[in-house]
């Protein structure tokens, strides 16, 4: 016999043996799937119930906020509604509920104000005929009747009607007072117009009298001031004239004893013309020749040591006289002897002559080397003459006023006038 082993024993396969287990597993899976479906359906139902509850709670609060019809009713319930909002937790729409609660009070207040305005307009429309009657009485000045009508009715804002009636009464009184004052002013203006001419005449008379008095007083003052000013001007003029005359006298004394004591040769004047015309030693042509030469000397002068010097008048006269013995000269010449040339030579010699210088006692003055000092009578006299001109120009003698002191010869020592008694 063949031995029995695992190789030669045939039995059912393992796959066949596991089929019962596989069937059991499938049964269990089908059971669990059915249970899962039941759970999903329940969860969906619960979620839907949650959402519906949230909607219901939100709608309940919104409806409750709309139940209040006045601001006062809403104010009494607002705290309760907000507490309910907190109590619902997450099962409510807080944004929608808060918006409704926040805007509800404003809406109710606007409605209340609109209602009040409407009622006022209705009342005013109903009371309008009474108000018109009162206003008509007031405008007609029937204030007592207007007040009586006001007392019969209770009107809205009737204080304004009482004020209008009172102001109307005051206006009538004020206008009456103004009319009385106007009448008084008209009468007073009429009286003033009647008195105006008399008042003007009186004022003119008073003004004329005052002006006359003031004018007389002013005239006296002006005359007194004028006399004082004239006297002072005369005194000042006399003092100035006296002082100037003294200085001019000193200027004239400055040239005394010089060749220019009687001034410079200013050309052919009446004296020179007479001297030449009376010179019987000259014919008409020679006289004319001499006059032309003298006119040129008077206009141009002569050169002395390079300086242009006008000759002194006394020197010219003495030389003209010296041309004729009949005039008292020591030596005579005639034009036939060359008179014009000799006249010119004599004049040139005199203009350029030098003398010994002497002091006040007549003694000769010596220079630094002990030699006799010399001086040119022409240059010395001409210098002193110009100095005298400068002094005279700086101290002119004005024309004498009435009562003045006169010229230098009449001046003497100045004495002020004696005051009038």
Q: Is 315:350 a contact under the CB 8 Å cutoff?
A: yes
How far CA 359 is from CA of 13, 203, 250, 362, in Å, comes to 198, 88, 20, 5
Q: Which residues contact 331 (CB under 8 A, 6 or more apart)?
A: 322
Distance from C-alpha of 55 to C-alpha of 58, rounded to nearest angstrom: 5
Instruction: Please name the helix (run of DSSP H) or strand (run of DSSP E) that holds residue 355, with its range, or none.
Output: strand 355-356
Mean pLDDT value across residues 100-109: 88
Distance from C-alpha of 46 to C-alpha of 230, rounded to nearest angstrom: 141
Query: To which residue do tokens 């005639």 refer?
Result: 334
288-309 pLDDT, tens digit each: 888 888 888 888 888 888 888 8
Q: Is 93:54 a contact under the CB 8 Å cutoff?
A: yes
Among 117-126, 141-150, 383-392, the minimum mean pLDDT is found in 383-392
- Compute φ and ψ for 333, nearest 5 degrees: -145, 165
Q: What is the pLDDT of residue 263?
A: 84
Q: How many CB atoms lie within 10 A of CB 64?
A: 16
Query: To which residue do tokens 């269990």 refer?
Result: 28
Among 18-27, 105-114, 215-224, the minimum mean pLDDT is found in 18-27
The C-alpha angle 364, 367, 372, rounded to 5 degrees, equals 40
Distance from C-alpha of 300 to C-alpha of 310, rounded to nearest angstrom: 8
For residue 355, pLDDT beyond 60:
yes
Q: What is the pLDDT of residue 118?
A: 92
Residue 14's pLDDT band, with cuts at 50, 70 and 90, is low
63-97 pLDDT, tens digit each: 888 888 899 988 988 888 888 878 888 888 888 88
Is 13 or 372 the better-scoring residue by pLDDT? 372
Distance from C-alpha of 60 to C-alpha of 82, rounded to nearest angstrom: 12
How far CA 131 is from CA of 45, 209, 298, 332, 414, in Å, comes to 72, 73, 127, 150, 113
pTM flag (> 0.85) = no
Q: What is the pLDDT of residue 54?
A: 83
Q: Which residues contact 60 (CB under 8 A, 6 or more apart)?
A: none
Distance from C-alpha of 236 to C-alpha of 256, rounded to nearest angstrom: 30
Is 370 or 119 the better-scoring residue by pLDDT? 119
The first and second tokens of residue 170, run together, are 């005051």
98-105 long-range contacts, Cβ below 8 Å, gap at least 24? Answer: 100/61, 100/62, 100/65, 100/66, 101/65, 104/65, 104/66, 104/68, 104/74, 104/78, 105/71, 105/74, 105/75, 105/78
How far CA 83 is from CA of 87, 100, 108, in Å, comes to 6, 15, 21
Q: What is the pLDDT of residue 399?
A: 45
* Range list of H helices, 68-93: 71-87
- Compute φ and ψ for 124, nearest 5 degrees: -60, -40
Q: Which residues contact 379 (CB under 8 A, 6 or more apart)?
A: 304, 305, 307, 309
Cα dihedral value 14, 18, 20, 26, nearest 10? -150
Q: How many CB atoms lie within 10 A of CB 123?
A: 13
Average pLDDT score over the chain:
78
Q: Is 98:136 a contact under the CB 8 Å cutoff?
A: no
Closest CA to 305 of 364, 377, 368: 377
Q: Is 374:355 a contact under the CB 8 Å cutoff?
A: yes
Q: What is the pLDDT of residue 3?
A: 65
386-390 long-range contacts, Cβ below 8 Å, gap at least 24? Answer: 387/251, 387/254, 388/251, 388/252, 388/254, 388/255, 389/251
């Amino acid at each position: 016999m063949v031995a029995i082993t695992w190789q030669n024993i045939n039995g059912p396969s393992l796959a066949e043996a596991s089929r019962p287990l596989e069937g059991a597993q499938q049964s269990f899976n089908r059971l669990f799937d059915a249970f899962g479906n039941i759970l999903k359906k329940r969860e969906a139902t619960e979620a839907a119930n949650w959402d519906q509850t949230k909607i219901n709670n939100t709608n309940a609060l919104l409806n409750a906020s709309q139940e209040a019809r006045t601001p006062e009713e809403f104010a009494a319930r607002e705290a309760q509604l907000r507490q309910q909002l907190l109590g619902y937790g997450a099962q409510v729409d807080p944004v929608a509920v808060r918006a409704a609660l926040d805007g509800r009070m404003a809406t109710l207040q606007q409605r209340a104000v609109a209602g009040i305005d409407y009622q006022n307009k209705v009342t005013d429309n109903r009371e309008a005929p009474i108000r018109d009657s009162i206003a008509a009485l007031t405008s007609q000045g029937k204030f007592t009747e207007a007040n009586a009508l006001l007392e019969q009715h209770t009107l809205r804002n009737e204080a304004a009607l009482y004020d209008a009636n009172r102001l109307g009464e005051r206006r009538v009184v004020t206008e009456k007072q103004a009319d009385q004052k106007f009448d008084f002013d008209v009468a007073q203006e009429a009286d003033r117009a009647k008195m105006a001419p008399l008042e003007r005449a009186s004022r003119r008379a008073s003004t004329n009298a005052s002006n006359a008095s003031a004018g007389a007083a002013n005239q006296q003052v002006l005359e007194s001031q004028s006399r004082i000013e004239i006297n002072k001007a005369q005194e000042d003029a006399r003092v100035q004239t006296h002082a100037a005359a003294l200085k001019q006298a000193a200027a004239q004394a400055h040239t005394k004893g010089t060749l220019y004591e009687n001034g410079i040769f200013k050309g052919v004047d009446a004296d020179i013309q007479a001297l030449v015309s009376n010179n019987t030693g000259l014919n008409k042509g020679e006289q004319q020749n001499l006059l032309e030469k003298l006119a040129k000397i008077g206009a141009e002068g002569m050169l002395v040591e390079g300086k242009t010097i006008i000759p002194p008048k006394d020197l010219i006269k003495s030389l003209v006289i010296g041309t004729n013995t009949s005039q008292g000269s020591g030596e005579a010449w005639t034009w036939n002897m060359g008179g014009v040339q000799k006249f010119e030579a004599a004049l040139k010699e005199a203009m350029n002559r030098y003398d010994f210088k002497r002091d006040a006692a007549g003694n000769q003055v010596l220079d630094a080397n002990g030699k006799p000092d010399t001086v040119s009578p022409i240059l010395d006299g001409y210098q002193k003459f110009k100095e005298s001109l400068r002094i005279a120009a700086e101290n002119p003698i004005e024309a004498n006023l009435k009562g003045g002191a006169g010229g230098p010869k009449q001046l003497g020592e100045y004495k002020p006038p004696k005051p009038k008694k």
